[in-house]
Amino acid sequence: MTKVAAIQMCSTRDLQHNLQRAEALLAEASGQGAQLAVLPENFAYYGCKELRQAACDEADATGPVRQFLSEQAKRHNMWIVGGTVPVAESGDERGYAACLVVDSEGEERAQYHKIHLFDVDVGDAHKHYRESDDYRPGIEPMVLDTPFGKLGLSVCYDLRFAEMYRELADRGAEIVVVPSAFTAVTGEAHWQLLLRARAVENQCFVIGANMGDRDHPKRPTWGGSVIVHPWGDVLAEMDGGEGVIFAELDLGEIQRLKKNMPIAQHRRL
């Protein structure tokens, strides 16, 4: 059994404030025995107006947020999925929205670049979202080996693209993480629906860690962080605001489910 935590935040434009809140919530997760904790998308640089500068600051492991994640993982002897952090690479002024995975010794074990960028018009106060103005898209899906099983990485808007999750499942993903900052409008309509669908379709556990500031005057986010069983059952969830939810995952349940319902063997298309 593996105890996992999904952390929900209401981040601001103040980097230090965000890191202080993340530190407190990670300590809460560790205090309850979590071996793996998932932070939401853009937990540190949410609403940052200088994303390209932030991406340059985080271009290597000496970046302030990357150091923070390493220190927290070592302090708590816990694996951390660091939501997303803007990370620059040569060849483009825009950086990647990088989902970093840090092991319990503070070493970065993976860096997934968000593939699907949220260039969408939404019926809220912000109205127009254009992630591609600040980020370039990633290319490669990613699954990595961990002490808890094979971990599939995805971020927010990726959730709407079922073919990506089928690819993660084909690569052996048993637990899939979805750090997010889903808008309140789209989140209320589709967030949990999509998370549960991805879990059922691919017979894997899904951890959705979301931003939860439903009262934000310009960019309200839905929250509703949730941990989903491969059968679609909700193991833990919360509404808006900040907090931590927990669940214990038994990967043996995946194998039992696949034996009784071998979906992968029945595919025809």
User: Catalytic: 114?
Assistant: yes
Residue 34 to residue 43: CA distance in whole angstroms: 19
Q: Which of 48, 114, 174, 242 is catalytic?
A: 114
Q: Which of 156, 174, 204, 242 is catalytic?
A: 156
User: Catalytic: 156?
Assistant: yes
Q: Which of 10, 41, 48, 131 is catalytic?
A: 41
Active site residues: 41, 114, 156
